[in-house]
Structure 1
Amino acid sequence: MPLDAPLQPGQGVIQAAHYLPASIGNVLWGRLPCSTDAAVLEIDSGDEVTIDTLSHEGVLEDQGRDPAGFFAGHGVARDGVLDDAVALAASGVRRDTRTDGPHVVTGPIRIRGARPGDLLRMTVLEATPRVPYGVISNRHGRGALPGEFPRVEGSVSVFAAVDVDADGTQVGTLPLLAGGERTVRFPLNPFLGIMGVAVAGDARPHSVPPGPHGGNIDINLLTVGSSLYLPVQVDGALAYVGDPHFAQGDGEVALTAMEASLRVTVRFEVVEQADALARFGRLVGPLAETTEFLVPTGMNEDLDEAVRDCVRAAISLLEARYGMQPELAYAYLSAATDFNISQVVDLVKGVHARIRVSDFGGRNA
C-alpha cells in the first residue's frame, strides 16, 4: 500500500473468503476470551480468515483515548488514522486501567469440531501494515529497567515512522536525538504478539500474561509462513488474535516494541488428539513452527524457571517427533540449539528454543 494511505475497514485486498473487521462487536479490550464468550465467526477446520487487528497504542487513556488527536501531535492527518481505532476510543467500551490489560483482540472464532485434547494450528498467511507508523512505549514503571526508565514522570511513547529504502524495502525509523534529523533504520518483520484460544470457565483472563492458552506470547518468529500450535481448552477453541507488531527484538525490553495495526490472514486447522500426541507428545503450552525451526516454549514468572520449562518442552518434543532418547536430546540442545528470551515484560516471562529441522534431515512434519 502507499505509505500515506491507511488500510481502513473493508478497504483494500481481502484475501480470504471470511473477513473479520475490528468493529466494536468483534473485539475485546484488556481481557481474553473464555468458554462463555459467544463466537463472532464460526468456520470449519482448514478455513482461512482475513482479520483486521488494532494496536492499543494511540487508543489508551494515558495517550488521551483519542487516536486522531494523539497522532496529530506526530504530524498524522485525520485521514491517516484508522476509523476503527477512532470508533473504539469513542465507544462506551470500558477498560479498568487498574485490573485490565491494554491489548485489543479480534475474535473469538469458533472452529467446528475442535475439542479439548486437540491442538489448534494457526498459520499466518499475510501480515499487511494498515498504517505507515507505529509507537514504542515505556510506561507503568515496567520494562527491563523499572525505576530507571522512564526518566520522566508518566509514560513515554515514541513515534516510529515507516520509510522505504532504495530497494523498495519498508523499514522503521527513529531519531538518534529527540527532534534530531539523523535516524536509525531497522527492518520490519510484522507479526502478531497475541494468538490464542479461550480458557475454560467464565472468567476472562488478563491480556498481559501468556500461558498454555497462548495469548501474549510475543514470539517474533511468528511472521508470514509460520504456525502456532495451541492445546485446545474448550469446545470450538474460540481463537483470537491481536497485539500487532511491525518489529520486535527478543526481550521487548522497554515494555512494548514497534506496535502498529495489521491486516492478517490466518488459516485455522484442528490437529486431532491422536495425531497431536504422535507428532508432538503431550503439548502443554504453545509451540511455534517455521520453515527452519521447531520452537517449543517455556513460561514462568521466574525467568530461570521459564528456561527450565522450555528445555523440558524441547526434550519432550524431540522424543515424540524423532524418537530421540532424552539424555541425547539434552546433549543435542546444549550443543546446537539457541534458547532465546521472547519477552521479560509481560508478568509471565517467555523463553523459546530454535531447534533446526535441517539437523534432522529437514523433517518438519
Structure 2
Amino acid sequence: MQRIEREQAKKYAFDWRDEPLLRVDCGEPFEIETYDASTGYFKTQADKAVPGKRPGFDRSPPLANPIGGPVYVNGVDRGDVLVVTLDDILVDDYSWIAVGPRRGPLGESTRWPELSSDYTTRIFRHTPGPSGTTRDGTLRFNDRLTWPITPFVGTLGVCPDREVVTSLDGQGPWGGNLDIRDFAVGNTIYLPVYHPGALLYLGDVHASQGDTEFTGTAAETKSTVRLRLSVIKQKRLPWVRIEKPDSIISVHADRPLEVAVETATVNLMDWLITEYGFTPTDAYCLVSTCPDFRIHVYQMCKIARLSFVAGAELPKRYLVT
C-alpha cells in the first residue's frame, strides 16, 4: 500500500505548485501518517505554548498545523468532484491541548486569571480498547473523566483555484482547516476540484473535540489515516458536502456565524432541489419544520483569520418526496 510517511507530512500550505508525494488511482487505498498540530512539539505538560519556544513561530504565518500531500488522483480533472472515503484513523497513544495568554476567547480573561496569566498544557493518555488498539480506545481527561476516542481529520482539502493558502487558517469551498467532527471513518466527503489530479492534502487529526473547539485546540494527536478517493465527473458543488450512512450535511464557513449557518442551510436546500426532486417551497418549509433538521457549529475559535464553520444536516429518511 502506498503511504506518505510522517516526516514527509510537514507541509504548511495548500500549494498547487508542490510536486505530488503520491499518485493514486481511483479506489486505490493508501495511507497518510500525520503529525499533530504542533509538529511534535507538545510531548509533556512542561512543553508550554510560548511562541518564542516553538519551532516555526518565528515565521509569519507560523509553521503550525502540518499536512501531508499533495496526492494526485489519476483521471480527475478541473470541474470534477473528488469523493473522499475515510476507511480508518489510528491515533497515537496520547493527545494534548494547550491554553494560555492570548490563546482563544478567554486568553485575556480577568474573571479567571489562571487562563490568561500562564500557559497550561494538558496531556491526555489513550488506553487501547478490546481490539488492542486506539481504534476502540479511551481518552483519559483526568483521574475522574474518560470517554471513547472519536477521531476525525481536522484539515482536509484540495488545492484552491489560484491561491496558495496556509494550513493554519486556509478555508474555502475546496476544504481546509475546518475541524469538522464528521470528517470521520464511515463518512464520505465531497470536494470541488480546481486542478488536474485534485491535489489532496490531509492532516490535523483530533482524538476528540467538543462543538466549536472553543479554546482553539482540541485533543490534538498524531495518526495514521487510511483512505480512498474517487471522482464524479463534471459536477458543480457550491461548497464541501458530507454524506453519513443515515444523513447528509452541507458545510459552509464564514463570519459572522449567522452567515455560515444561513449559507449552509441554503446550500442544503439546493442539494434537496437539484438532486432529490424537492420544490424550492418544500425545501424551504422542510428545514424550518422538520424536528430532525440540525445545525452544527463545528469550529468557532478566534485564531488568525479562521471563519466559523457550520453544517446543516438532514436525515436521509426525509429525502423522499
**Common fold by TM > 0.5:** yes
2:137–2:148: 8 Å Cα contact kept in structure 1? Answer: yes
Unaligned runs of 5+ in 1: 1-16, 60-64, 75-88, 176-181, 277-281
SS at match of 1:238: strand
* 1:284-323 equivalences in 2 (<5 Å): 284-323=238-277
Give the gaps of 5 or more residues in structure 2. 48-52
Name 1:6's counterpart in structure 2.
Answer: none
What is the distance in 2 between the residues matched to 1:140 and 1:323?
51
What is the aligned counterpart of 2:186 among 201, 204, 225? Answer: 225
After superposition, residues 195-344 of structure 1 pair within 5 angstroms as 195-201=156-162, 203-273=164-234, 276=235, 282-336=236-290, 337-344=293-300
Describe the shift of the 1:139–1:98 C-alpha distance in structure 2 as closer, same or farther (beyond 3 A): farther
Opposite residue 121 of structure 2, the aligned amino acid is S
Q: Find 1:27's aligned residue among 10, 14, 32.
A: 10
Q: Supply the AA of the counterpart residue of 1:153.
A: S
Cα pair distance change 1:73/1:205, threshold 3 Å: closer
Contact 1:128 1:263 survives alignment (8 Å): yes
Residue in 2 that maps onto 1:79: none
- Of the structure 1 ranges 233-242 and 152-161, higher mean CA displacement relative to structure 2 is found in 152-161
SS in structure 1 opposite 2:283? helix
Is 2:122 the counterpart of 1:158? yes
* Distance in 2 of aligned mates of 1:36 and 1:301: 29
Contact 2:173-2:240 within 8 A present in 1 as well: yes
Deviation at 1:132, TM superposition (A): 1.5
Does the 8 A contact of 1:34 with 1:201 survive in 2?
A: no
Cα distance, 1:225 vs structure 2: 1.0
2:33 corresponding residue in structure 1? 52
Equivalent of 1:108 in 70, 80, 84:
70
Q: Is structure 2 residue 313 aligned with structure 1 residue 359?
A: no
Paired residue for 1:183, among 140, 144, 157? 144
RMSD: 2.7
Contact 1:190 1:247 in 2 (8 A): yes
Aligned partner of 2:60 among 56, 81, 98: 98
The structure 1 residue matched to 2:2, chosen from 15, 18, 30, is 18
User: Which amino acid is 1:343 matched to?
Assistant: Q
Letter of the 1:44 partner, please give it. Answer: D
